[in-house]
Structure 1
Amino acid sequence: MAAFELSEKKYKNGRRAFTAVLYELQPPECVVDDVGTKYNKNGITFLEEYCAPQLDSIKDMSVTVEFLDDERTQISGHGLTGIEDGMPVFDNATIVGHFTEGYIQDIETDDGTKRVVIGKGYLDEMRYHAFVEQLETDVNNGVSVEGSIEIYKSEGNDGIVYKNGYLDKGRIPIDFVHSGWSMVTSAADSTSTLIELNEKKQQKEENEIMDINEVKEAIQSTILELNDKTQSYETKIAELNTKIEEKDAEIAEKDTKISELNASVEQIQATLDKLKQDHATYWAERDILESELAKAKVAEKLGELDSALGEFNSDEKEIAKEDIEKLKTEINSAEKKEDLENVTSEINSIKSKICMNIVAQQKKAEKKVSEINSRNSETDVEDIFSEVCTENKTEDKDLNIF
């Protein structure tokens, strides 16, 4: 693609008009997780939604070159010499023109259609005559003169604002201004080329006047061409209308199927709702039956407890009084029959406890009787030495040896 085309029309003020592609806009679908998968050589992904608002900054933007020779015909890079106070400085760059407007347009390239930002402007041929002349020669000989866009932070920002921060590749500028366009030997964006020159030449008036017959012939040729195109367009329109009718028929058929499916879905949903309602009723009735059954089981188990303890008197049951009261409480609080499964086992435990206490009391009583009998037996044995051990005392006044 031609990088730069100069107008062959030379204005008295020394300006030469040009049109240049500044950079390519990437499709939105190339962005994944706020990172561009398509970008220029500098790793920048330009998107139309963020670049369109910045088109006004192209107006009055400088066209610069970095000359390599004293004749000022050979160019190199941007002319960047450093950064001072956060601002890039291009001491080696020479301003050779400026832009008057910028816009977005589709262009055809060897790689297909591309969406690009284009700038129009003028070169200062009066001051850089040799350079402009060399450019014109290069363009006419098919030499590609490329350019590289320069962007800068917008007012109020500390730097260019990127969608997902600064990335080496795929960074997306969302707030910036266009600060310059430099003609370079190696462009950051291969699409950034000068593509158009005003090739209108100053011609003599007599060469511009056409013979009346030529005019008629041209008009007739144009009419025939338009008629052919009209016929072709009408044929295409008829074909498109036929396709539209076919698509409408397909859509109508699909709408009918969708309606049928919706009706089936509604019927299935109604059946499902009925099943859910029946299910809820069943469980409610089941809960009532479970409650009634539990009440019957409570009465049954209380009767079983009373029957089991009926053979014992109140004194005998005293030893298990707390256990009996606890079991009665558990029986009365039962809400399901499963809560009463261990009642019989607990009744047997209470009976065992009472019986063991009765046996213990019997053994204790038998032991006591045995001890009493033993003491009584020892008292009845005659003391054969009782008389021998008896001492008879006689008072002195009664003693008379004669």
Structure 2
Amino acid sequence: MLKSSILELSQRQNAAGRRYIKWVVHEIQNDPTKWNKNGISWNEQYVNNNIESAKNMPIVVQFLDYNMSEPWGHGYLSEIKDNEPVFEDSVVVGVTDNAYVDNVEVNGKTIRALIAEGYIFEQRYSAFVDWLKGEMFDGNLPETSVEIGKKKDSSNEVIIYDGGWKEKGRVPMIYDYSGSAILGIEPSDDNAVLLELNNRTHKEKKMDKTENALIVELNNKIETKTNEINSLTNKIGSLEKTISEKETEISELNSTLTNEKNKSLEENEKLNVEINSTKTALQERESEIASLTSEINELKAFKKSTEDKELVAELNNSLARYTDKEKEAAKEKIETFSAEPSREKMVTILSEINSYITKTILEQRESKNNKTELNSAADVYGDILELNNNGDKMPYEDLY
């Protein structure tokens, strides 16, 4: 007879974080004279009658190690509550998606069996999936074990067997599939271990290995894990010491930084006081400068006004000795002089008038055909003296 085992662990994922899996739930004997070592004989009709309960049943594992990589059994059965088993240390690692009856070849032999398909939560149990892949790669197909119980929401308080319960050849007729466990131990027979819950009987099957051998194996694994834990504990102790030292260093650095920061704040406060004092003094100086600048500008304006008046008066005094016709030579400059008086403009005005007078004298002399040498300064100036309408002699220096 064949063991119930995992047939396929696919590389594909039918959804994110889920690993497809296919396995034999149990063999179907279809003959009450044939049974597994648990005394169970499965009938295909009854299997099909109850097959819906196999869909969505949990895939469970009792992990042997804290890394949750290697399975052991169904889990510790802590109590029976309302005729339902309570497993304290097994976890759900996946769920059954589909279940059907079919012929399947296992280890070179074709059997009639209940086959299930589903998926494992790989994102949460990646180490376990790695263990499964490793076992199957080595040709060690992990065994599975089905769990059944009383029919839910029925008047039956127990599993109903065709012909009643018996030690050998009992045929489950009315029941529910409640779970399928992936095992890491050898089952009690060639088929998967079957865990039954019945109010009349509850047996825990023995394993092929002796209890002493199992205890030795467990002790070895416990010792290995204990050594790993001790090693990790030592590392943690070393790390905690390092952390403590670093925390001390950080505390000292924080204290130093705090002192430096306080010192820096005091210095900054002093500098701010000095800066504010300097700003106040600077503002006062700027105010004084602005006041003095205003006074200077007023004085400059007054001085310019006074100087302008003096220049206008001086020009008028100088123009008084000229005739209106002579002043016509610089009429425009004379009219605009008072708007912006300057000594340069005054000199220009007088020069233009004197030039006009000189030109007039020369023209008159030429018209009289005066034969006096043109280069004779005495004759030229004589003509000038004659043209003075006031009857006074004009000083030589007033001509230019």
TM-score by length of 2: 0.44
* Higher-Rg member (1/2): 2
- Structure with higher RCO (Cα < 8 A, 6+ apart): 1
